[in-house]
Structure 1
Amino acid sequence: LEEGIRTTANGFLSDEFRWYSLQAAKTISSVTSFVGSNTLISTYGRLNYSYDNRYLFTVTVRRDGSSRFGSGNKWGTFPSGAVAWKISEEDFFGGDGILSDLKLRASYGITGNQEIGNLNSITTLGASSNGYIVGGQRITIVLPEQYANPDLKWEETSQFDIGLNFGLFGQKVYGSIDYYRKETSDLLLRIAVPSPSVVSTQIANVGSVENKGIELELGA
């Protein structure tokens, strides 16, 4: 649950007057209040398997439901998996030379993002008295603060990694080299609403972005 009051005040005689002394301001230009809540339900399962301490497997499935999305898009399923081969545990790996440890690994997974406001999938209304004067009196009217977007859904990020861990000179020197590729789709972004409209922007699933590269690490 989130609730609060926002106000803008100007013209304090001294900086010693703080948020608990708003009455000391010369002008109070705006006062707004809000209340909201959201629900996140999650289930999670993981399976780990190791064969002879050489071949390692991990499978994970996560199922999340968020009240922040439209009625048909509240739930998302986010699987992931990883495999590893400890080459240094094989009989053919001597380990007596410079190279003392070696492990090859790969992973792929999908994660979800629901970090938006609590009410972006529905229309919300608010009171406004800015700029509306009738008979010389400023009146308060009710206007949309945002338009409904029932198609809002989870932003998803998928990532693939493949890498190699190594140790040298009996693990006195160690490091890793990784290649990764990460793609985020259905980005949750605020976009402009075409005029004429009393609402200027709206949250929507738009666009995608991709990152990829190579990472090197070396330590001693």
Structure 2
Amino acid sequence: MTVAVEAWWTAKAVEIRVLEAAETLMLCPDTRSSIGSAWPAFPSSQEESYGYNDARYRKRASPGALSRMTTTWGWINEHPAESERRLLYAWAWQKTKKGKFLNDFASREGVNSRTLRRAITAICQAIADRLNQQKIAWLAERVDVVSEITPENAPKTVSFPKHANHFLEPGAKPRYPTPAEIKALKKRLEKANRKRARTRQAAGK
């Protein structure tokens, strides 16, 4: 069976997979804690009884996301530089956690946000180059919808009720003059030049 590859791996495609893997890991149960009972908790009050409050749903990682996560970790672990592997892992974990800012993470790493962005792009590009050399197909498979890795598409419509520049002050938007206005301006300039010439001639006499 022949699989048609849509495109080559890019740094952005690898970055999306890394962020999805980090988000998937956050959805996995914490195995470091002690194993609790498989029986449901006994309700100690009426408020804890079933059906008293709205049901809560906890998002779980899909089987496809788990499979892609382990594959992505393998790509990162094959990267030769250990310091870059650690940086990519820490960056992905920091970016997917709520309430965390990349500027603070960059400061702890001793770099600014732009330098951090270039370093992450370079690492992802190196991984993409290796995947392309190994002829690993990129099928642009759909990733799980999470907050940090949703594609940022350029909007075709504006969110304002009127139009995009309705908040501009009157006269703030530049306007090209009409041919009639240009002709009238030319006449005024010629009249002013003739008047200036007559004034100079009178002053010279």
Q: Does the TM-score normalized on the shorter chain lie above 0.5?
A: no
TM-score, with structure 2 as normaliser: 0.20
TM-score, with structure 1 as normaliser: 0.19
Q: Which has the higher contact order (CA 8 A, sep 6+)?
A: 2
Q: Which has the higher helix share?
A: 2
Structure number with bigger Rg: 2
Q: Which has the higher strand share?
A: 1
